[in-house]
Structure 1
């Protein structure tokens, strides 16, 4: 299923705009079976956040619901946008300094990896991106974190390198995929 997600600024904070491509049957099923549902594999919302009118439309006639579906995503707190951790499936809250780009690619990296789940697995503190908070990750370093998540191509090269390392012990000719992988990650 293809979909489009956008984060939009409002006076109060940020909203997630969801433009599903295709039928909404999967969402109706999730709303009937559970209170929480996932959008884009990384954003978690409670069905009450969709609004009573939209919920009724979805359950009665999902083909006629107005798109995009709009969800509250972050609140404005001083110079930061505060995203509740539960919205990202993590325990820590996330704070984006208002000048930091709040695009989807800052949340979902290659291979549908949740950037903040990766950070959350390594730290128990609230996560600050940009700004002057004492534990803030500078914008440039945050971009480095996103780039550190391997692409499909890098992952395939890594798998080939590991397999060729084993096969080279048994086969007369085996491509040195480890060398190819090293050249690829070093950019040579």
Structure 2
């Protein structure tokens, strides 16, 4: 059992083995001069303050009352922070935790299955101090850190994630596991089997469109429910499979598109690669950036003069898209010829690529958290809309919840036009449930 004793000048970690008479810590310190506790805390012999037992020597036959108690120097307290040397947590960064506002216990440092929380944070912030709480500008807010601890995966989540990964990787090798595209094509074949040889009526065309968008909405919703089980590459591949159905104006999707950059090195052309480009029915090329649907990558938790500002993830994605659009536009007619020649086989016959004021579509983030609760306040939603409007002339920033709402409204509109009041009510009800 691990506990912490906080004094005016520092913090001591107290460790009492779960099993009576278990003196393995003493043996480790004598043999190697160091010991590791819970796979997270790393101590040297010089860190040991005291080793005591309840009235007996430390041998393997001691009873319950003879359990040893070890006390290690853990942190020094100064200027309102507990400073923990990085080596004690197995990282290069010293960790500063505000002395008032966070109660030190094991769960602050150790997650389920002995995962080091600060080791994960250190991977995102190499080389510099990690500060939790207080007034420092580089600190992690106490509220944000508390939310991190609450949302860190527990054992059940880890097991389900592992199961989902296995299903994702191996599912296609088992009988009955077919892709979303296969399901959709099979459905269309069944739907249209009796319609051959006669002209489709307007209501049949509308119903076919309704069925398509209902299928897309349900497919996207099911993917979002399991989004954590996919890597970003896997997620992009899945969304690309239905991108032309989600955005009917486009007729072709081009992957890993090589474009020319004449500005990074003025004396030499440099190649840049765009993950996804789309081409519309007139040959105009646009850029698409697809990110995994995390629910906290849109707005920073830090407030600047009462305003919410974009996260680094959102700002970086916007900047990346702007650069792609800049280089495409500067490439001009030469670029049109090269792209048309290189990707002609992926285009409808006779279509040439045109670089005509290209735009970008950014598909990322969510308004809702994975547990279904709202992820943005009313003020944050307003600030996010301001950010979207700022770039509206060159890119469309769309969250996955935006996309679901668009599909809901398309379905309701088509259903009303088809004159099916019952289906309209059902579609509207499902759309309302997502928006509430």
- TM-score category, normalised to shorter length: 0.7 to 0.9
Q: Does 1:158 align with 2:169?
A: no
- Which position in structure 1 is the counterpart of 2:103? 101
For 1:131 and 1:179, locate their aligned partners in 2 and report how far apart those are by CA, in whole Å: 36
- Match of 1:161, SS? helix
Deviation at 1:182, TM superposition (A): 4.8
**Structure 1 alignment gaps of length 5 or more:** none
Match of 1:17 among 11, 14, 34: 14
Cα deviation 1:18-55 (Å, max 9, x = unaligned): 1112233422331232111112221111112224x739
Matches within 5 A, 1:176-187: 181-182=226-227, 186-187=370-371
* Mean Cα deviation higher: 5-14 or 150-159: 150-159
Distance 1:119 1:155, change over 3 A: same
- Which position in structure 1 is the counterpart of 2:268? none
Instruction: Indicate the RMSD between aligned Cα atoms, in angstroms.
Output: 3.1
- Which position in structure 2 is the counterpart of 1:75? 76
Deviation at 1:180, TM superposition (A): 6.3
- Match of 2:39, SS? coil
- Which position in structure 1 is the counterpart of 2:137? 134
For 1:32 and 1:172, locate their aligned partners in 2 and report how far apart those are by CA, in whole Å: 58
Distance 1:181 1:157, change over 3 A: farther
Conserved? CA contact 1:42–1:114, under 8 Å: yes
- Match of 1:69, SS? strand
- Match of 1:38, SS? strand
Distance 1:167 1:91, change over 3 A: closer
Deviation at 1:66, TM superposition (A): 7.1
For 2:67 and 2:47, locate their aligned partners in 1 and report how far apart those are by CA, in whole Å: 16
Distance 1:180 1:156, change over 3 A: farther
- Which position in structure 1 is the counterpart of 2:119? 117
Conserved? CA contact 1:35–1:47, under 8 Å: yes
- Which position in structure 1 is the counterpart of 2:30? 32
For 1:39 and 1:183, locate their aligned partners in 2 and report how far apart those are by CA, in whole Å: 30
Conserved? CA contact 2:109–2:118, under 8 Å: yes
Cα deviation 1:70-125 (Å, max 9, x = unaligned): 11111111111111111111111111111222121110012211011111122121
Residues paired across the two proteins, number: 181
For 1:67 and 1:159, locate their aligned partners in 2 and report how far apart those are by CA, in whole Å: 38
- Which position in structure 2 is the counterpart of 1:8? 5
Q: TM-score, normalised by structure 1?
A: 0.81
Distance 1:66 1:152, change over 3 A: closer
* Mean Cα deviation higher: 152-161 or 76-85: 152-161
- Match of 1:20, SS? coil
Conserved? CA contact 2:47–2:72, under 8 Å: yes
Distance 1:161 1:12, change over 3 A: same
**Structure 2 alignment gaps of length 5 or more:** 180-221, 230-368, 373-436
Conserved? CA contact 1:109–1:115, under 8 Å: yes
Conserved? CA contact 2:10–2:77, under 8 Å: yes
For 2:113 and 2:47, locate their aligned partners in 1 and report how far apart those are by CA, in whole Å: 28
